A and B are shown apart, each in its own frame.
Chain A
Amino acid sequence: MDFALTPEQELLRDTARALLARECPTSLLRAHMDDPSVARPLWEHLREFCALGTGSAVDLCLFVEETGYVAAPGPFFATVALFAPLLDAIGSDLLEKVLAGEVTGTVAVAGPDGVWRANGDPAKTFVPEVARVEHVAVVDAGPVVTIVDTPPARLIETIDTTRRLFDVDTSSLRASPATPVDEGALTRVLERATVALAAEQVGTCRRLFDMSLAYAKERVQFDRPIGSFQAVQHKLADMALDLERAWAAVYYAAMTLDADDRERHRATHAAKATAGVAVRRIGKDSVQIHGGIGYTWEHDLHLFVRRAFASEAWLGNADWHHDRLAELIT
Chain B
Amino acid sequence: MHLAWGPEEEAFRAELVAFLDEHLPPEAHRFHDFAAAEDEAGDVIPQWARDWQATLFDHGWMVPGYPPELGGRNATPVQTLVYLEEMASRGIPRAVHFPGYAIVGPSLLEFGNDAQKQLVPAAIRGDTVWCIGMSEPNAGSDLAGLQTRAELDGDRFVVNGQKVWTSYAMHAQKCFCYVRTDPDAPKHKGISVLIIDMDTPGIDIRPLRHINGLAGFAEVFFTDVVVPRENLVGTLNDGWRITQGSLAHERGGLWVEGVARLEQGVRALVDLAHRVGVADDPTVRRRIAESYSKAASLRALGYKGFTSFAQGSSAPEHSYMKMATSEASKAVFELGMEIQGAYGPVVDPERGQEDGRWARGFMTSFAGTIAGGSAEIQRNIIAQRILGLPRG
Give me the interface of A with B, judged by CB distance under 8 Å. 1-5, 9, 58, 213, 216-217, 224-225, 227-230, 232-234, 236-238, 240-241, 244-249, 251-252, 254-256, 259, 261, 266-267, 269-270, 273-274, 277, 319, 322-323, 325-326, 329-330
Q: Are A249 and B300 also in contact (CB < 8 A) when A236-B387, A323-B286 are? A: yes
Contact digits for B42-80, partner A, Cβ 8 Å, 1 yes 0 no: 000000000000000000000000000000000000000
Interchain residue pairs with CB less than 8 A apart (21): A2-B307, A4-B1, A216-B389, A217-B390, A224-B390, A233-B392, A237-B378, A241-B324, A245-B300, A245-B301, A252-B299, A255-B1, A259-B2, A270-B292, A270-B293, A270-B297, A273-B293, A323-B289, A325-B289, A325-B293, A330-B270
The interface residues of chain A lying within 8 Å CB-to-CB of B388 are: 217
Question: Chain A residues with Cβ under 8 A from B294's Cβ?
Answer: 245
In the complex, which of the residues A1, A228, A232, A319 contacts B391, with contact meaning CB atoms closer than 8 Å? Answer: A228
Binary interface profile of B, 356-392, with partner A (CB < 8 Å = 1, else 0)?
0000000000000000000010111011101111111
- With CB as the reference atom, state the residue of chain A lying closest to B301: A248
Q: Could you tell me if A244 and B301 are in contact, using CB atoms closer than 8 angstroms?
A: yes
Q: Give CA–CA (A174, B327) in the complex, Å.
A: 54
A32 to chain B, nearest CB (A): 32
Q: Tell me whether A319 and B390 are in contact (CB under 8 A).
A: no
Establish whether residues B323 and A4, one from each chain, have CB atoms under 8 Å apart when the complex forms.
Answer: no
A269: chain B residues at CB < 8 Å are 289, 293
Question: B282 and A323: CB pair below 8 A?
Answer: yes
Determine whether the beta carbon of A233 is less than 8 Å from that of B2: no
* Extra pairs beyond A240-B320, A245-B320, A248-B297 (6, CB < 8 Å): A1-B3, A213-B387, A213-B389, A237-B379, A261-B3, A325-B293
275-330 of chain B: CB within 8 A of chain A: 279, 282, 285-286, 288-290, 292-294, 296-301, 303-304, 307, 311, 317, 320, 323-324
Tell me if B28 counts as interface (CB < 8 A to partner A). no
Whether A241 pairs with B320 at a CB distance below 8 angstroms is yes
Q: Is the CB of A240 within 8 A of B382?
A: yes
Residues of A within 8 A of B208 (CB): none
A15 to chain B, nearest CB (A): 18
Instruction: List residues of chain A with CB within 8 A of the CB of B378.
Output: 237
Known A1-B303, A2-B307, A234-B376; judge A249-B384 contact (CB<8 A): no
Contacts of A267 in B (CB 8 A): 296
Let me know if B384 and A233 touch, CB within 8 A: yes
